[in-house]
Structure 1
């Protein structure tokens, strides 16, 4: 094998195992093979080793190797892969012979080694690069490398001559040439070869870490009791070792076959077979009639009440499940107990399934939140799901619309026979189709929720779910064709209008024109009769709000926002029932002309609005829950509808960002409120009703955004209307996720506090009181909110799925929300925790720094 300078293979080698599955002692043994026409041993095998090397996957500190590695080639050897290896990539220091001093390294060798280390940093982009200067350095280092190799060959020739002379004259002082010395001498005589291996490069070090398991429960109890000491301390358990095992350090006498003690993580996770047998005997048919007469005593009643107070996400112990099962017939009179008894039932046991199937229809009527819990992924029994659907049938259309988004996701958890035509009468799909066919508003939202899921082809979705949603949509259209063909035609016309708007939005978005030219282009598209937007005849219900019928758009008032996605601002003409123009009620915003009422929307493509849609739905639900307790916090739950996975519409509410208020009024929200609502006799010089609206809305959104863990809060997504309504927009980060470091848990900036008159004002005290009242009110309805999030765990909402993957199925999105409700403490303690969060948010220094940095970035972009 001959080549002048180097041989380049340029081939990535793929390991047969994943790096995460490799132990820290993993080594890569590389052998370079050559073809020899005349093998030395006379065999017919012509493949002979040219050389080899062995390189570990992790360094001495347990860090995964990255970048280029220089490996020494051992001539005519096969890599062994042993520990320690006879072919290490970094040669071990040579052993000195007696009376022989270790030769000092040459200055050229030290300089070459230093330059090679700098080369590695240069390849990892840790050093600045300069192309023309780098080329000169590469040439110079190559020349230096060849000089060092030439000097090494000369030194090897001198040593060979000295050894020959020594052998001829005999070794002095009776020294004997050992076999190892001979191998080292031969290695010195060989020409030096090096193999450069390129490992993948990473921005950060990848450190090896073993999975550490918690000690068994019995060991934790033993350690804690002994640590406490005292007369009740448990004695050290007696351990008898097998033959050949030393009791001192658990080392076997035979070193070739050591015995290793391993902790089994499933030891206290899986149920004991004896307990399983006991449960089957206790829950058999022989005891069924005996359980009917079981009445709990006072102590057991207290235990049952405590179990029934558990949240929907809390697991039940084995003892608690047994108690629930024994008194299941007694608990059938309590509507709270059904979900707990269902959890305590073994649905793999035919006997228990039979008993529960007979008992569930006799149960007391459950609440809606319990019905939603039974539709979750943990319950797949048709009897249980059928009972929950029966309960939902008693809910009104308006209430059903609040949960419709989650009910569509719950379709994933039902099993349908693909060969069966239609759906069973007790199924959730059949229920949604029947109710949506009777109410156009409900049918409108069901149609668009299903269409978005049918079009979702992201990496987190599967074809089976898309096929299921398409099947439900198909049968919904068939039902509409039977009952109300006009409703189906309206949905078809809505789809055509959304398709036109999507096409226009994409052309505006991907166009490289300036913003003024984009605006003129948009007006031209809207005014074109071919697009059928200038006049919509007959009037069409808007998909965003089907209670609003529109008869066209105002092309001359259309606009394009300053954004990379170029969202469109469209003003629709609102039509009356008789086809004429009439003034609509809120939330429709009237325009400049009093005789032309309008409904304004923002339409955008290139953004998945399903997460914003979920947050707005939860805010709308919480607003209903607060109003039910006579607490009006003046919230602004504007409408959002995703029309596809990458497009959607948002209701436009006239308002001003806090950043613009701060810029125009020098950071004074009060000056903004006084501008159109001045009142010398009012609080802080503002009309009483406007200040009251500002205080209530600030409190409401502070509590709700805290519970939902809304992140990425800055002054551009905090809005304020002239009437004092404060609200949030842009919910790209929820459930505690935030791209900014050290962000406060509640966004309570100094501008908001200034609008309240400062932290010592009566308005701020009133604001805090509204916060505490709203938090305790919503905390009572926490099971409903948690159940809604549990139905979304397999949805394509970005942060919900991301949190589920990060948490590994432990807690997940539901756990994040439950954590913010502080359900593990009393109501008084929860209020104190919220008070502390408010205090920390007001005094947060990083919040001010983040706002200033965001303002600088926005000004730089502008």
Structure 2
């Protein structure tokens, strides 16, 4: 697209609900005194206690000064400052229903005072700017203390920051918005340094202003093109008056991007002519065969052109023995044509059986046909429980794209899980985390109910546990995490250093919450459901020294041992859960090709939108090792010595280390191996692993495609862009030999590179490994 072109959507054509994200509250709230405080005779509060506010944001839409639709509320947030909801809001109103004077009214309330809600402040923002374009990106709104958001016209609570409060920070925030809209070129290493400098500037500005102002940050996201307001009754936009006869006028064409009726009719006629008996004997020419083979190599994210769809439909009968052609053929079907859809489904039943990874593609939002999705489930039934668990997170997300609450996919997941307690536990957690989704909550809750009904009907197994006991063991997992949330609130209210908070934790476990020390009935570990935990060991439980104060808990097990977990509240760990799941999947794919790189990711489980459990693995950080031993080689020589081994290290230890490092070549800089036989072996492992994972690129891309509808922030912001970036990493345009040269060059560049963030980056990566 040239710089002079302006592509846009008309608001009246967008049949989607209005969406935005309530991000965070900036500034310092005034302290709140506890109602239980006692005044002495002088009238001075002698037992002043500050209470932690519990805030939520009420979001209401006003059209032409009048309320429209039902207001929506965010969840309660008490982990401040800064109070960060980062919560998507979907209104019942659609973009096509908006007027030019539609505005959003946002009011912040505090419920920590008990029954009486305290009004923190309110603000409003018009959804269209002065150019009648829909506002996009992050908007920083001035909050008016003690005032409820005023949706009338003109409003008394405008969100636009007054001029006397604007400064360097506002200019920088505008640049950040441009950066997020990709109007500024991205340079990773420079961007990281820049954002660190921005944080320092923000701290200085807040200190200069004394945090006297409160701001609410909301993110309107962005669509593929700008959205221009047009009333649904209008047929065109009036151009601005021409001031000069030599002025170039760009005419906005609302039909840009729409289907050409004449071309569509010609295509239908061509397909109707080839729908007869003659198609059965058609064979592609050499040129057509090459084109078909090129299409079949397309990644699952590639959209087929009209000519490509026509080519696949024309030779559909000759392609039936090619199993990898089925998904491409189904993409070429005109599903609105009843006869064509009927014939496609008939051919699908006779097609060569496809692989499980291709079945995952058929569960993506691209395919709406219930018959096609049911066929995909039939293919999934061939997978064993271990393989199914690798895809379970994405299969739960695929429930969003089903057409009914009790779909074939939902019934399949329940049926397999009801006979495998590990699958049942993870399925229950995966659907429970999605209950907050206002659009699909009913669908996930329905699956939860079906799972409960199915498990309750189970008869006692070999271990004597019936369905009721099994289900109750899973329900108690939720009760346990609820108690841990309560503990974190109590510990968080303790003033003082981390040691005092640890003492409070152990005091609670030994006193008021002593039932957590020894459970009445064993509970299945949420991270490893095959392990029964029987209680918490107070003396071995602690708190990490960080802003969120995660709990480090030691649990007794029924076998007489212990296991350690971390419980975090106030942080969305679904991103970590996805990363660890993909590492586990790639480890499985490599082992299937007899390449074991000793990848041992820890277990992660999100138990809520902002909470979760992580497996605790006793270890020392990379920074500590480097500070005490100066190099990793010295560290390995001390703990794995061998006088006759390479570098004075046991050969087994060094081999394991080299393999585990093959996933990120930058570590070779710190290891300092250089061009020796071990560095060559290291590069060999890298290239071999890369080509093995390239073979499974369709599987990995399909799994990420199924996550497109999730609310994970890094994915939800722009799922298509994220999937395309992932696709680029596989370099599907190169053959295996060319990829070896490509990846070797990549390793050499990484080894010779010197950047300040080296240690920090590796330390972050190392957290995913033992």
Does residue 336 (structure 1) correspond to residue 332 (structure 2)? The answer is no
Query: For 1:224-278, what per-residue CA distance to the aligned partner results, in whole angstroms no more than 9, with x for missing partners?
Result: xxxxxxxxxxxxxxxxxxxxxxxxxxxx9997999946475865x4443233112
Cα distance between partner residues in 1 of 2:499 and 2:124: 54
Cα deviation, residue 289, structure 1: 2.3
Asked if the contact 1:642/1:649 (under 8 Å) is kept, the reply is: yes
Q: TM-score, normalised by structure 2?
A: 0.66
**Residue 130 and residue 676 in structure 1: after superposition, are their counterparts in 2 closer, same or farther (change >3 A)?**
closer
The match for 1:505 is: 488
The match for 2:620 is: 656
User: Aligned with 2:418: secondary structure?
Assistant: helix
The match for 1:753 is: 669
**Residue 663 and residue 358 in structure 1: after superposition, are their counterparts in 2 closer, same or farther (change >3 A)?**
same
Cα deviation, residue 614, structure 1: 0.3
Asked if the contact 1:536/1:551 (under 8 Å) is kept, the reply is: yes
In structure 1, stretches of 5+ residues that fail to align are 1-11, 24-63, 70-124, 132-199, 203-209, 213-251, 418-422, 582-596, 703-745, 805-810, 856-862
**Residue 849 and residue 414 in structure 1: after superposition, are their counterparts in 2 closer, same or farther (change >3 A)?**
closer
Query: For 1:30-63, what per-residue CA distance to the aligned partner results, in whole angstroms no more than 9, with x for missing partners?
Result: xxxxxxxxxxxxxxxxxxxxxxxxxxxxxxxxxx
User: Aligned with 1:377: secondary structure?
Assistant: coil
**Residue 311 and residue 265 in structure 1: after superposition, are their counterparts in 2 closer, same or farther (change >3 A)?**
farther
The match for 2:698 is: 783
Asked if the contact 1:284/1:351 (under 8 Å) is kept, the reply is: no
**Residue 414 and residue 761 in structure 1: after superposition, are their counterparts in 2 closer, same or farther (change >3 A)?**
same
Give runs of aligned pairs for residues 98-247 of structure 1, distance below 5 A: none
Which residue of 746, 752, 770 corresponds with 1:843?
752
User: Aligned with 1:331: secondary structure?
Assistant: coil
The match for 1:493 is: 476
Cα deviation, residue 546, structure 1: 0.5
Does residue 571 (structure 1) correspond to residue 554 (structure 2)? The answer is yes
Cα deviation, residue 293, structure 1: 2.2
Which residue of 485, 488, 497 corresponds with 1:514?
497
User: Aligned with 1:551: secondary structure?
Assistant: strand
Specify which structure has the bigger relative contact order, considering alpha-carbon pairs within 8 angstroms and separated by 6 or more residues: 2
RMSD over aligned CA atoms reads 3.5
Which residue of 559, 562, 565 corresponds with 1:601?
565
Give runs of aligned pairs for residues 434-583 of structure 1, distance below 5 A: 434-454=415-435, 456=436, 461=437, 463-483=438-458, 484-528=467-511, 530-576=513-559, 581=560
The match for 1:669 is: 632
**Residue 528 and residue 330 in structure 1: after superposition, are their counterparts in 2 closer, same or farther (change >3 A)?**
farther
User: Aligned with 2:394: secondary structure?
Assistant: helix
Cα distance between partner residues in 1 of 2:761 and 2:581: 31
**Residue 211 and residue 653 in structure 1: after superposition, are their counterparts in 2 closer, same or farther (change >3 A)?**
closer
Asked if the contact 1:494/1:540 (under 8 Å) is kept, the reply is: yes
Asked if the contact 2:607/2:613 (under 8 Å) is kept, the reply is: yes
**Residue 533 and residue 356 in structure 1: after superposition, are their counterparts in 2 closer, same or farther (change >3 A)?**
same
Of structures 1 and 2, the larger Rg is shown by 1
Does residue 621 (structure 1) correspond to residue 585 (structure 2)? The answer is yes
Cα deviation, residue 633, structure 1: 0.5
The match for 1:19 is: 130
The match for 1:81 is: none
**Residue 514 and residue 365 in structure 1: after superposition, are their counterparts in 2 closer, same or farther (change >3 A)?**
same
Query: For 1:642-667, what per-residue CA distance to the aligned partner results, in whole angstroms no more than 9, with x for missing partners?
Result: 111111111111221110001111x2
Q: TM-score, normalised by structure 1?
A: 0.59
From the two aligned structures, give the one with the greater strand fraction. 2
Asked if the contact 2:494/2:500 (under 8 Å) is kept, the reply is: no
Which residue of 579, 589, 599 corresponds with 1:635?
599
Asked if the contact 2:473/2:522 (under 8 Å) is kept, the reply is: no
User: Aligned with 1:547: secondary structure?
Assistant: coil
The match for 1:684 is: 647
Asked if the contact 2:399/2:409 (under 8 Å) is kept, the reply is: yes
Cα distance between partner residues in 2 of 1:490 and 1:22: 54
Asked if the contact 1:285/1:351 (under 8 Å) is kept, the reply is: no
Count of equivalent residues: 548
Asked if the contact 1:283/1:352 (under 8 Å) is kept, the reply is: no
Name whichever of 439-448 and 827-836 sits farther off.
827-836
Cα distance between partner residues in 2 of 1:286 and 1:322: 10
Does residue 431 (structure 1) correspond to residue 412 (structure 2)? The answer is yes
Which residue of 733, 736, 744 corresponds with 1:827?
736
In structure 2, stretches of 5+ residues that fail to align are 1-122, 135-159, 166-203, 218-224, 228-240, 459-466, 765-770
Cα distance between partner residues in 1 of 2:543 and 2:699: 39
The match for 1:584 is: none
**Residue 760 and residue 326 in structure 1: after superposition, are their counterparts in 2 closer, same or farther (change >3 A)?**
same
Which residue of 762, 771, 792 corresponds with 2:686?
771
Cα distance between partner residues in 2 of 1:544 and 1:130: 46
Cα deviation, residue 414, structure 1: 0.8
Cα deviation, residue 698, structure 1: 0.7
The match for 1:184 is: none
The match for 1:740 is: none
Cα distance between partner residues in 2 of 1:278 and 1:830: 42
Cα deviation, residue 301, structure 1: 2.3
Cα deviation, residue 512, structure 1: 2.1
Asked if the contact 1:331/1:337 (under 8 Å) is kept, the reply is: yes
Cα deviation, residue 540, structure 1: 2.2
Asked if the contact 1:500/1:531 (under 8 Å) is kept, the reply is: no
Does residue 795 (structure 1) correspond to residue 710 (structure 2)? The answer is yes
Query: For 1:124-158, what per-residue CA distance to the aligned partner results, in whole angstroms no more than 9, with x for missing partners?
Result: x99x9899xxxxxxxxxxxxxxxxxxxxxxxxxxx
**Residue 537 and residue 303 in structure 1: after superposition, are their counterparts in 2 closer, same or farther (change >3 A)?**
same
**Residue 130 and residue 21 in structure 1: after superposition, are their counterparts in 2 closer, same or farther (change >3 A)?**
closer
Cα distance between partner residues in 2 of 1:472 and 1:517: 43
Cα distance between partner residues in 2 of 1:840 and 1:326: 47
The match for 1:163 is: none
Cα deviation, residue 699, structure 1: 0.6
Cα distance between partner residues in 1 of 2:348 and 2:763: 56
Cα distance between partner residues in 2 of 1:353 and 1:492: 44
**Residue 558 and residue 14 in structure 1: after superposition, are their counterparts in 2 closer, same or farther (change >3 A)?**
closer
**Residue 682 and residue 266 in structure 1: after superposition, are their counterparts in 2 closer, same or farther (change >3 A)?**
farther
Cα distance between partner residues in 1 of 2:644 and 2:651: 9
